[in-house]
Every structure is written in structure tokens, then in C-alpha cells.
Structure 1
């Protein structure tokens, strides 16, 4: 909630205001800092799903960029 108040409740990738969540820039399983606000970005559901799919593909060796 604090990140949304600070940055505005809009997706930082596409600007959408629909179902915006704070997401880790570097996922925790990839070594991202869990409580560091600089490791958070606000994403709408669509951008979050795309980012997560890309990260999973990269981890599984299928390529992709985040």
C-alpha cells in the first residue's frame, strides 16, 4: 500500500490502473531482496503475468528476457 501511495496506483510498464500489485523486479527465487522497496515495481495483472512467464521460461532454459 505504501508503494502504491508513493508511486501512484498505476502499472509502471503500461500505465494501466487495473488490478495493480507491487511485484519484485528480481524475483525472490532469483535472489531478489524481499523487503527492499527498490526491488519493487507496480504492475497490472497483464504485465505481471507476462513478466512471470518470461522469468519462468528463462529459468527453465527456454530463453526470454524480462
Structure 2
């Protein structure tokens, strides 16, 4: 049972303007992603900061929703989960017109793997 609380602002559930789930669940994308991570195993944003971090996300540099090429490796970059979240948040803030730019290149501090050096 939902209680009406007029002092609590209701938020609309976040909706995507473009649904790319069919593409991301496709065999073609899964194979491309796997091969790309095998050939590019380290997060490029962390590497620029001198930190060695395993990449576990393949990110589209130019988002598909903005016309980025889906399978062209020149539009792909290997990122760790934290760097990908920062990049996505920054892009989302820009789309919403928020002036604050989030730092994508901020040093990652916690990672899952113990086999890599962290600062």
C-alpha cells in the first residue's frame, strides 16, 4: 500500500532515450568485446595516471546514441568499472545540462584484482 506524502518529491524512474540492449546482448558484440579486452587488458584512463588496472568494460568513446560506430575498434576503449562509471556520469550530467563536469581521469583507489599495483 502506497502512502501519500505530499512533502516528499516523487521522481520519475530514469528512462533511456535509446534502448541498445538488443545490440549489447548480441553474439557479435559479445565476441567483439571479448577479443577487444584480450588485446587491450588495461584501463587506459588509469594507465595515463601511472596506475596499472585491469580493464573489465569496453566503452564506446562516442556513444552509440550519439552516432558512434558500434563495432569499430577505433571507437572502443578499455576501462575499469570505476573509470567507466565516472565517464558515464560525466556524459549524463552534460546531457542534462548540468554545468559541473566530473573528472574522468581522477585516480582510481580500489579495484578487485590483487595482481596489479595500485596507488
* TM class, shorter-length: 0.7 to 0.9
Unaligned runs of 5+ in 2: 1-33, 47-51, 105-119
TM-score by length of 1: 0.83
Task: Normalising by structure 2, report the TM-score.
Answer: 0.49
Q: How does 1:36-47 map to 2 (within 5 A)?
A: 36-47=72-83
Structure with the higher fraction of residues in strand conformation: 1
Stretches of structure 1 lacking an aligned partner (at least 5 in a row): none
Q: Structure 1 stretches (4+) deviating beyond 2 angstroms?
A: 63-66
Report the CA distance between 1:35 and its aligned residue: 1.1
CA distance in 1 between partners of 2:67 and 2:96 (Å)? 16
Q: Deviation digits for residues 29-57 of structure 1, max 9, x if unmatched?
A: 12211111100000000000000000000
Higher relative contact order (CA 8 A, sep 6+): 1
RMSD of equivalent CA atoms = 1.7
Structure ID, larger Rg: 2
Q: What is aligned with 1:6?
A: 39
Q: Which has the higher helix share?
A: 1
